[in-house]
Amino acid sequence: MGLGKIFIFSALSGLSFAFSYRTGQESQTGLVFTILDILNKSGDATTQAFVTVVSIGTTIFFIYGLSVFFRQIYENRLAGIITAVVGFAGSFLILSSSEQNTLLIFLGVGLWITGIVIARLVRKNRMQ
């Protein structure tokens, strides 16, 4: 995973976090867990077993992906940290801003552009 993938993962994480922030859910569970809980409660024994296996598999996949993400940030040092932060912050600003405050949207897009430029420059420097 290079800086481009770090940027994409952090941007998607920022979108997910901002979406859950905007919906204002009082509970600590996310949308996916709520859906899985409904399927688990309304289904028969086969459905419940399937939901349990899918939940375990998904959790293992996300833990593995997160560990790869943090390892890549560590390997890229400062460029990885900056790329992850601007990707996350840009997504959060874009999704959490209101239509009346377009400055935050432009700031979020500017952070995205900064992350993309950093990823390209570091990649270009490593190729030489």
The predicted model scores a pTM of 0.68
**Sequence-ordered alpha helix ranges (H) in 43-101:** 45-96
Percent of the chain with pLDDT over 90: 3
Q: In 3-state terms, what secondary structure has residue 103?
A: helix
Please check the confidence at residue 68 and state whether its pLDDT lies above 70.
yes
Number of domains observed in the structure of the chain: 1
Share of the chain above pLDDT 70, in %: 90
Say how far apart CA 93 and CA 7 lie, in whole Å: 15
Q: Radius of gyration (Cα) for the chain, nearest Å?
A: 18
Rounded CA separation 24/18 (Å):
10
Average pLDDT, the chain: 81
User: Confidence band (pLDDT; 50, 70, 90) for 11?
Assistant: confident
Residue 71 domain boundaries = 3-127
